[in-house]
Structure 1
Amino acid sequence: MKPPTYECIYSKGNVRITVSPTCSPDALMLLTNTIYGTSGPRYQSISQESKIKDITHAHFFELTEDQTVVGTYCLSGRVVKIAEGTVDSFYGRLLAVNPSFAGKGYGSLLKREAVRFIERAVSQPHIFYSYLEESNSRSMRISNKENFTSIGLLEAIVFSRLYPKKDASVVQLQDEEFASLLPVLQETYKKYTLVHFDQVFYNQHYFVWKEKGKIIAGVQANPVSWRIVDMPGIGGKLIMHVLPHIPVLKQLINPVQHRFLALEALFVQPGYNHVVIPMLESVLHHFQVSSALYLLDTHSPLMKQLKESGKLGIMNSLKQHIHTHVMAKTNGISIGQLKQYPDQPIYTSAFDYT
C-alpha cells in the first residue's frame, strides 16, 4: 500500500497547511483529545478512530506550526438532492485546533484555505455545508467570517427508556433488502433538501418493523460513545450530577462513557405511527443502551410526530433546547435553489452529526 500523500496548499513562515485523503496519526490524536462545544454541551468523542476511516470522499486538511500538527479540518464530498435536482457538496467536520495555539486564528485559516482548495479544484456549481450548534460561538464566528449563511435550524430529540423492551416485529434489514428499501426512503424524503443516503445502512445497522413479511417502518441507528464534560442549565446539572448517583436512573447516563444511538432515515407507512415508539425501544434493547439522539430540522414532519407522541422519556424533558444551524456556502447556485421555500426541511445524517 502506498503511503498517503500530503499536498501543501498554504505556506507562510513556519505555518503550513496540507491536504490528504487520510487522517494522519498526529491529527487523529488531536481529534481524540478535542473537547467540542463552548457555552453549550461540551463533550469528547470516544468512538472517533473507527468512524474517521469511513468518511466518504474525505479531504483532511492539517495545519502545522514548526512541523507540529496543531489544527485539522475535514471536508467530505457527496452528491445531495436539493430543491432543483442534485449538486456536488462538501460537508465540513472535525474542525479542531490545539488549545495551546488558540487565539492565532488557525481555525479560520484552516477553514478558509480548505474551502479555497475545493473551489479551485472542483467546477461549479457546488456547495459547502456543516452543522454548528448555536452556542458554539467560536465556530459560528469562523463560518460567518468565511461567508457561510444559516439556511435552517435543527433541534435534538432524545428518546430514552430505563428498561427498553424488544419487540419480535423488529429485525435488522438484510443485505439483499437494502436496494429495495432505497426507493421507499427516496419517496419519504422527496420534499426535503440536502438529501443523501451515503451512510444509511452503515455497518448494517438499519432496523425495520415487519408485519406478515411487509416492511412497515424503519430507522438507521449508529452506536456512539461520548465523554460528557459539561451540560448547561438546570436540566444539564441534573443529568450530569444527580442522575448518575440515583440507583435506578443512573443507567440513563454515564458522563465518563455515555453510550447512545444516533438516528437517521426514519420512515413509517401511513396509518402505522403507533409502531415507531416500540420500534425505537426495541433498537435500544438490541444495542443495550438507554437513549437515542435524533437531530431534526425544526420544520420536519418527524419532529412534530415524535414530540406529539408524548412518549420520548425523561431525558428529552431534561435536555436544554439548543438549536443547531445548518451553515452553507454556495458557488454557482443560489440559496433559493437549495430550498424551494423557507420552511422546506433539511435532511440530517446521523453519521455527520455525531
Structure 2
Amino acid sequence: MAALPPPPPDATPVLPTAKRSRTRSWMLALGIGCIAWTGGLLGALVGSELSDWLDRPPQRPSSQPVDIADARDGFEGRIDVASVAEFLAPSVVTISADIDNGVGIGTGMIITEDGEILTNSHVVSGASEIRVRLAGESEPREVTLLAEDVGNDLAILRMSGDGFEPVRFADPGSVRLGDQVVAIGAALGLDGDPSVTLGIVSALDRSVGQQNVFLNGLLQTDAAISSGNSGGPLVNAAGEVVGVNTAVARDTSIFTATNVGFAISVGEALPVIESLREEARGEVREEAFLGIGLEDRRDGGQGVIVSGVQPGTPAETVGVMVGDLIVAVDGSTTAGSAALIAAIRDKSPGDTVTVAVVRDDNGLEFDVELTSRPEN
C-alpha cells in the first residue's frame, strides 16, 4: 500500500517512538507504557481515583467465578475493585526491558500455565534483555521474546517454569458500551504492587494509527492509564480480560484530553496471539496488499479518500480509482485511514475482501483478491 499523505488536523495518535505528526494537533501516546529512565528520571505522577468497591469473592478460578450477567444487574453487581485486583494479582507481571541504554517499564499478563506472557510490542521491541517480576516476588525472572507484531502492537514472551496462573479472556461479544472495567498495571513503575484504576468502556471500535502501527477495534476507556500500564489487562467484573491497555490521549497546546485511554480489544488480540505463536514456530505470515494511497477526510465526514492507485495492484485490477471514497471493508465501516489499513493488514494474501466505495454520489462494491506486499 502506498505511503499515506499527511494526516488531517484532528484526533491523531502518537506512537511510542514516533516523531510528532506535522499536521495533526492532538496526539495519542501509543507508547506511554514503555518509560525509559536515564539517570533515574521519572515522569510526572498522574493521580487516579478509585470508587465503587462492592462485593465479589477474591478466589482464583478454582472457586465459582462471578457470572458476568449477575455483575451487570444493578448497583449491587458493580465491580469490587479490591477483589478483582486480588483475583488478577498472580497473573499480572511487571516488565523491565533494557532499551537504548535505559530501562523501559511496562506490564504483561500470563496467558498459559507454562509461562507465556502477552504484552505490547512497544514495551519490549528492540530490547537487549527483558525481565519480569511476579506478584509477591522480589527477584526478576529472565524471559525470552518469542514473537512480536509491531503493526498490531502485541508481543508474546516466555519465562521458564510451569503451573502459573493464566488470565481468562472474556467473550468478545460480551463487551458493552458503559460496562465497568478495571485497568491493572505498573503505572509509572512505582514500587510495590500494580496500580488499579476504575472506569467504564467509553466507546467501542475506535481506530488509531501512525507510521507502521495501525490499530482498529479498540476499546476506549476512562479508567486512568499511565506510563507503565501498557501491556496490562483491562478486565470486567468477572476478572476476565476484555482488552490490553495500550494508549492514552494527551493534552496539546490546542486540544485537551481527559481520561481518554485505549485498549486492544480481546476480539482483536486473540487472532494476533495465534499468529504470534505460529511465527514463534517458524511459520512466516506474509502481509496482505491492496495497492492504494489514502487521504483522510477533512470535512468531518467518515470514509477514506483514495489518493493514488498503484499500477498492476489488486485495487487497479478491479477498477478502484483516485477520488473514490472507501466507506467499508467487508461490511465494517472505515471511519478513517487507520481503520482501513488495519483491516487490510489483518488479512492474508489470497483473501478476498469486499470494498464499498462512493463515486460521484453512487455506491459501488468491489470484490478484491489481495496479494502479498512487494518487498521494496
- Fold match (TM-score > 0.5): no
TM-score (norm 1): 0.25
Of structures 1 and 2, the one with the larger relative CO (CA 8 A, separation 6+) is: 1
